[in-house]
Every structure is written in C-alpha cells, then in structure tokens.
Homo-oligomer: A and B are copies of this chain.
C-alpha cells in the first residue's frame, strides 16, 4: 500500500488537471503535459502511475477518460462522500457554505455546534445541536468529519465522534490532537501555514 501522502496529493492534482484538459477538448495526454500542468516531472508522473498499476500506451500517451476513471476510483470519488462539520464558528460556517466541495463529490450533510444560538435546522446545511451528532453519524453512516472548534474543545470532540464511527478527521483546531485508535487525523493549521510562509519569505529576503 502506498503511504506517501505527497504521492496521493499529486494524484489529486493530476485528476484536476485532467478535467481541465478534458474541458479544453483533449482526449489523450502525455506524461510531460501532465507534469507541466501540475508542476512536476514526467518521470514522477509515470512513476506515480506505475505505483498504482496505471498504464498508458507506448507512443500514445494516456487516454484521459480512462485515466480519470482510474484516478477517481483510487481517490474514492466513485461515490458521494458524506461529511459533517463540527463547530459553526467563522471557519466552520465558511466551510459549510463553501461551494468547492460539491463539485468534488463531497457533500456536507450537517453542521453541529454546542451553542443553541447557532442551531438552524432549515438552512441549506442544517446546523444541529452537538448532542445529536452521534445519532446523526450512525444514522447516515458518516466516516469523515471536519473539525472547526476552539482548541480546548477539540480533543473531546474527536473522542465523541470517533466513538460514533468517524474514521477520518480534517482538523482546523490549532492544536495537535492525540491519535485516536482507528481514526486518521489530518491537521490544517492556518497559523502554522502562515508562519511557514513568513519564514521562507524572510529567508529569501536574507539571501538577496
């Protein structure tokens, strides 16, 4: 099994690039085209494909529709992905309203918050009381959650939802969460992303 996160991220980028190429009317693609589109190298593209047993045609490149089918299957995009959002603060609400997920086959079924003032069962993405989250996860068979609660609430929230069946968490709380048995946690730490950028900008400035 491939455990290289960057490799999987590249697959997503290939997929996105292929849709763009397809929209432009292309039917086939060569490894170097694809490399250009995603800022990689032709070797890397072919290597990545070979890792997943994806093959093209000597001198003929890869047929885009077949390639997309295979990538989509690897990335689990052959079925609608149901997701919930925990925390209806600024970030959580923005994610619930964000249109970008839909066209990727990712559907946010509900948001959950502890604050009664935030509850709204009639909005496009209903916002429900946190007490209902366990039942909701079980009833809908949800595996993936986005966590956008304050740091102090994060660990407890993760334990609650993993107990109910969540297997993957995209964590926006600015805090490393202790691993929970049987649940993968990917952290998106906005402060750290910015700090990182600032570091490299400063390094560049010093070089010059």
Residues of chain A touching chain B, judged by Cβ–Cβ distance below 8 Å, are: 1, 3, 5, 8-9, 11-13, 16-17, 37-39, 74-77, 81, 83, 90-91, 93-95, 97-98, 100-101, 104, 106, 143-144, 146, 167-170, 174-176, 179, 182, 184, 186, 188-207
For residue A5, which residues in chain B have a CB less than 8 angstroms away from its CB? 196, 200
A-B contact pairs, 16 of them (CB 8 A): A1-B206, A5-B200, A8-B199, A9-B192, A9-B196, A12-B191, A12-B196, A75-B199, A91-B94, A91-B98, A95-B190, A101-B194, A167-B205, A186-B193, A186-B197, A188-B190
Copies of this protein, total: 2
Q: Are B197 and A101 in contact (CB under 8 A)?
A: no
Q: How far is the CB of A36 from chain B (nearest CB, A)?
A: 10
Which of B100, B179, B191, B200 lies in contact with A100, CB distance below 8 A? B191
Q: Are A167 and B75 in contact (CB under 8 A)?
A: no
Task: Tell me if A's interface is mostly helix, strand, loop or mixed.
Answer: helix
Which of B39, B169, B191 lies in contact with A104, CB distance below 8 A? B191
Q: How far is the CB of A9 from chain B (nearest CB, A)?
A: 6
For residue A199, which residues in chain B have a CB less than 8 angstroms away from its CB? 8, 11, 74-76
Q: Are B100 and A174 in contact (CB under 8 A)?
A: yes
For residue A12, which residues in chain B have a CB less than 8 angstroms away from its CB? 189, 191-192, 195-196
